[in-house]
Amino acid sequence: MRFGEAIAHYLIAAGIEGVPRALDRGRPVAAIWNDPALLLGQCCGYPLTTGYRDRLQYVATPRYLAAGCEGAAHRSVIIIRAEDQANSLSNCRDYRAAVNAPDSNTGHEPIPSGGRAVCARWRFFRDVIETGSHAESVRLVAAGEVDIARSTSSVMLIWSASSARR
């Protein structure tokens, strides 16, 4: 049983009504966070304390098991395709970059330090697109639609596991 299914199972067993049986990955993240029927989800801390502070309530912080994570602390990663020869960020000038969202600290800040506005001002990247999620940023790098993205080690762990199942 997957994590989301296990949570649903226990909530239903506890008598909670309206519990979805599966995670909703078919809508944009903003639509999910703004849905009054949202029961439980995982959100980055920055948007939780800024744009959604009046609509979402903090419940718990996950304890990450991915490499480089300790307890509730996660690690950001910058990703490029395996065949790319860049060995430092300075070698990534003029790349096409993907960012999660303007309100995501991990998925938006710094590629390089200072985030998208600085990158645009420096004209460091050829293009910077917003994807709406870490997973979509990773998918676009893997598909060759962008050259570089920033994500988290926990998302990369999930991505690797789901890719292995495909």
The full length of the chain comes to 166
At residue 111, the pLDDT reads: 58
For residue 114, what pLDDT is reported?
Answer: 42
**pLDDT at position 120:** 53
Q: What is the CA radius of gyration of the chain?
A: 17
Pairing relation of β-strands 76-80 and 127-130?
A: unpaired
Residue 16 confidence (pLDDT): 92
Model pLDDT, residue 118? 47
Could you tell me which CATH class the domain 76-165 is placed in?
alpha beta
Report the pLDDT value the prediction gives residue 109, as an integer from 0 to 100: 59
Q: How far apart are CA 128 and CA 84, in angstroms?
A: 18
Over the chain (166 residues), the average pLDDT of each successive run of 10 is 84 92 81 88 82 88 79 82 86 88 68 49 78 88 93 76 58
- Rounded to two decimals, the pTM is 0.72
User: Which of 154, 157, 165, 159 lies closest to 142 in space, CA to CA?
Assistant: 159
Separation CA 80–CA 115 (nearest Å): 17
Asked whether 10 and 39 are in contact (CB, 8 A), the reply is no
Rounded distance, CA 133 to CA 131, Å?
Answer: 6
Measuring CA to CA, which residue among 62, 91, 79 is closest to residue 148? 79
Residue ranges of the chain that CATH labels 3.40.190: 76-165
